[in-house]
Structure 1
Amino acid sequence: MVAGETSGDLLAGLLLDGFRARWPDLRAGGIGGTQMMRRGFEAWWPSEKLAVRGYVEVLWHYREIVGIRTQLRKKLLADRADVFIGVDAPDFNLDLEADLKAAGIKTVHFVSPSVWAWRADRVEKIRRSVDHVLCIFPFEPDLLAQHGIAATYVGHPLAGVIPIRPDQAAARRLLGLQAEDLVLALLPGSRRSEIDYLADRFFQAAAHVIRAHPAIKIIVPAVPALRAQIELAARSAGMLGQVQIVSGQSHTVLAACDVTLIASGTATLEAALYKRPMVIAYNMNWLSWQIMRRKKLQPWVGLPNILCRDFVVPELLQDAATPQALADSVLQWLDAKISAPEKIRALEQRFTTLHEELQRDTAKIATDAIQNILAG
């Protein structure tokens, strides 16, 4: 298995629970993180090595990433695994999967590349590289079938982990917050490049929010490996003493908050499953952005908006993601909490419906699909 970042590590860890229930003597190794290792996974390299987003940013790490893939390919071809599962990270995994499939090793890709949102040209590469795709969104198998790619909808694992009705009071107690506190969560990303491009903007936006709501509590869940980088950004923005930075605990923070300012990515879906109003933001290297925007197929970038087919929450991307604009969008949600609670309730209902659509026994369905592939 290869999972290339924090969200992939979480998804792969949930899959491993199902695998071990079916195959108690399972041996699993490759590239992974703490969630996978907690399930007995042998991480030959940590998933953080692949946690790079953006075309230019990848170039800076290209030699190391290619070296890892070359070594991994040799090891997997020598060991002849029964099945290889690439968890997201399509730029790394699809080329590797193509080589393994050509050598007769069964290949599965978990989390369909978003050909319906970006890079439709990738469809041919998927068909060449994988025996089966495990899809987390219900519309994806039919779309892939049109291109001759076998796929199974397994639901989104997080929809089974996150409760339909999150316990905000319990989450606040865990974080030392009071029930009556107004709480803003800042989630500037789980990659170093995201922290570089977003953290300073987020902290400056939070400073604007504090001026409007001096008593607001601001919580920042940090990937442990990136905590020092986030603290440095907070200090540079003059905000270190005004925010509470916690290691990990992103789900607890999302459950506890009233609103979140959040980097585009899997975390936005987690926020939707916690039924939280959010402002989605993203900023990256200018050249990477120019390349990405030309491959965009839909008006939305944030997963909650893509799945709801509407701008149910604001998206502020690249030059639009100024501290003042981010703060203004956050303040609109905070004002709605006080003066237009029906707007918050409507969003919560929309996200509850989405949650129910994504809820399946993902680990079992995925394990059944892989069993069929192995038997085929």
Structure 2
Amino acid sequence: MRVFIIAGEPSGDKLGAALMAGLKALRPDVEFQGVGGVQMQAEGLVSRFDMSELSLMGLVEILPKYRHLKRRIAQTAQAVVAQKPDVLITVDSPDFSLRVAKLVKAHSAIRTVHYVAPTVWAWRAGRAARMARHIDQVLALLPFEPPLMQAAGMRCDFVGHPVVAEPVATDRDVEAFRAMHSIGDAPLMVVLPGSRRSEVARLGERFGAAVRRIKEHKPKLRIIVPAAAGVADLVQNLTDKWPDTVVLDPRIGEYSTKMANKRAVFRAADVALAASGTVSLELAAAGTPMVIAYDMNPISRFVIGKMLLVDTVTLVNLVSETRAVPEFIGRACTSDAIADSVLDVMAQPTEQHRAMALTMQRLGQGGKDPGLRAAQAVLEGIAADY
């Protein structure tokens, strides 16, 4: 069995790796080609080019790279058509992935599966119908998404989110982590300024100012920043003058050790300050209360703000149908507001703990591994196609 699989950013790399592992368990003869990051490569993928080329977000951020991305789209589609895989699986990154799928469908009958339903419940509701022209099947992470995709004419399977199957640090792991960094019983905050360079550059100063203000109220507070691989140098530079701060550099050490350290700091932290994204689910799985903040280029902020259909972008809020996680988006993303909210959450975390537990339950915690569920759905879709 031959699978061509594409992911364009770290969150998609994680989903793609879980799906690849599921396919390997169900079909040991599977062969992979495509584009992915370190986690997909650990499952056996040789990426055709560096995935970081696709890790862009925001209208203005994408424009300077448009011609290069257009060439990559054409090259990737040509490779898919030439390889004639049993299925093309695109993982998130719709601006790239769905354009590849469109070209593939224009020149072949290769089955196309897109992993992560478009957020039509949040903005641009018409995307589902347009997507249905060249996508045969969607794998949904959220339980309320399948009816929306099915209404547009695509098969859609809710497969859960891989975060519910990932290991969580134990009490012993937490104690060891605190001892390793001489934290003891001091309060600990984990700061996550994003995985894209544009995110870190835009949020870094505001997060730093918030950290300093929080530190004034919590003098014993320690700060840990687990940097993403593609932005580790930028994070190091931005945090140089932050007080009592340690950066976990992903370029150092074995992969398994780095992941264990990340799980340990998530579980050890009393609170998190994070850029908006799927990291909110990782924090929820660890039971870590959080504050979410995000901003982008003013033009992108204006355009996207006009199109939003929901009053929250935080997945814990959406899945739990609460607004327990404070968020500061766009103009609201100011250091003073962020700092005040972090202090409030540290003082009263109970509501968030309830919302996080409900989120994990609704995403399939305790059930079959989501990567395996996704793999089963892909194989069932291929079988139904014959």
TM interval, shorter chain, is: over 0.9
2:304 to 275, 288, 292: 292
* In structure 1, C-alpha distance between the alignment counterparts of 2:74 and 2:151, rounded to whole Å: 32
- The Cα shift of 1:16 comes to 0.9
Q: Which moved more, 1:356-365 or 1:152-161?
A: 356-365
Q: 2:21 is aligned with what amino acid?
A: D
Describe the shift of the 1:182–1:310 C-alpha distance in structure 2 as closer, same or farther (beyond 3 A).
same
One of 59, 63, 86 as aligned partner of 2:63? 59
Cα deviations by residue, 1:98-148 (Å, 9 ceiling, x for unpaired) = 222331011000111111112112112221121100011111111222222
The equivalent position to 1:327 in structure 2, one of 295, 317, 339, is 339
Contact 1:31/1:44, CA 8 A, preserved across alignment: yes
Aligned match for 1:261, one of 247, 270, 273:
273
Q: CA deviation at 1:86?
A: 0.5
* Alignment-derived partner of residue 318 in structure 1: 330
1:156 corresponds to which of 154, 161, 166: 161
> Are the structure 2 counterparts of residues 172 and 63 from structure 1 closer, same or farther at C-alpha, using a change threshold of 3 Å?
farther
Distance verdict in 2 for CA 1:139–1:48, change over 3 Å: same
Residue 279 of structure 1 is matched in structure 2 by 291
Does structure 1 conserve the Cα–Cα contact (< 8 Å) formed by 2:73 and 2:99? no
Give 2:152's match in structure 1, choosing from 124, 147, 152. Answer: 147
Provide the secondary structure at the position in 1 that maps to 2:113: strand
Q: Distance in 1 between matches of 2:111 and 2:153?
A: 17
Change (3 A) 1:334 1:185: same
- Aligned equivalents of 2:33, 2:131: Cα separation in 1: 23
Contact 2:174–2:265 (CA under 8 A) maintained in structure 1 = yes
- What residue is the counterpart of 2:247 in the other structure? 245
Distance 1:313 1:350 in 2: 8
Question: Corresponding residue for 2:173?
Answer: 170
Partner of 2:253: none
How far residue 168 of structure 1 moved from its aligned partner, in angstroms, is: 4.8
What is the TM-score of this pair, normalised by structure 2? 0.90
Per-residue CA deviation, residues 247-301 of structure 1 (Å, 9 max, x unaligned), is 2444332112110000001111211222211111001100000111111011111
Give the Cα–Cα distance (whole angstroms) in 1 for the partners of residues 201 and 175 of structure 2: 29
Query: In structure 2, what is the Cα distance between the partners aligned to 1:149 and 1:71?
Result: 26
Give the match for residue 318 of structure 2.
306
Query: Which residue number in structure 1 is paired with residue 228 of structure 2?
Result: 223
**Displacement, 1:179?**
5.2
- What is the rounded CA distance, in whole Å, between the counterparts of 2:64 and 2:87 in structure 1? 31
Q: Matched residue pairs, number?
A: 364
**Identity over aligned pairs, percent:** 34
1:1-376 paired onto structure 2 within 5 Å: 1-102=5-106, 103-163=108-168, 167-174=170-177, 176-177=180-181, 178=183, 180-235=185-240, 238-239=241-242, 242-248=244-250, 249=259, 250-336=262-348, 344-359=349-364, 360-361=367-368, 362-375=370-383, 376=385
> Is contact 1:281-1:317 (8 Å) kept?
yes
Structure 1: give runs of 5+ residues left out of the alignment.
Answer: 337-343
CA contact (8 A) 1:264 1:282 kept: yes
Q: Secondary structure at the match of 2:139?
A: strand
Q: Structure 2: state its 5+ residue gaps.
A: 251-258
Aligned partners of 2:140 and 2:156 also within 8 Å? yes
Tell me the distance in 2 between the aligned counterparts of 1:147 and 1:38.
Answer: 35
